[in-house]
Amino acid sequence: MIRVSVRVPNTRRIPNFNEVLRLAIRDTGKELNKLFNKTTTTWRHDVPFRTKYQGNNKVTVSTDDKPYFFVNGGTRVRRALMSPDFVPKSQPRTLRQQAGRGGVVFISRNVNRPGIKARKFDEQIAELIEPKMVRFLQQRIRSAR
């Protein structure tokens, strides 16, 4: 889950600054949602991401999808035995998705394989959104003057 807040200096020279800020946060929320959806383009099931706006200066994107948490945060142990030709669809520290290969052979509590490597999608998206957020705010301020 990513929370974005904006702190802004002197607002006296910008008419309707709260509206400008609200629109910039809406732009940021749409971009965040796009980036999170990009992380699951090759998945077989749809991962619902919810975008929640709080006031004029906060946006939160979240999901309750358990597989997304396992892939994003990683696990210590994997209880699934994968086929020998298995290739994951995503790699740690990249948003790029690829066609995977192979799959689960069986799942058992007796299987103790190395865990899922954390993809850390949320951290990567936080790094990507910061310059875009600044750009969205600058564009909205220029258009308001």
- Rounded to whole angstroms, the Cα distance separating 93 from 123 reads 8
* pTM as predicted: 0.80
List 40's β-bridge partners, or say none: none
Q: What is the DSSP string of 4-31?
A: EE------TTSTTHHHHHHHHHHHHHHH
Give the distance from CA 27 to its chain's centroid: 15
pLDDT in tens, 58-94: 899 999 999 999 999 998 988 888 888 888 888 787 7
Give the distance from CA 135 to its chain's centroid: 19
pLDDT in tens, 41-56: 888 899 999 999 988 7
- Rounded to whole angstroms, the Cα distance separating 46 from 20 reads 33
The DSSP 8-state label assigned to residue 76 in this structure reads S
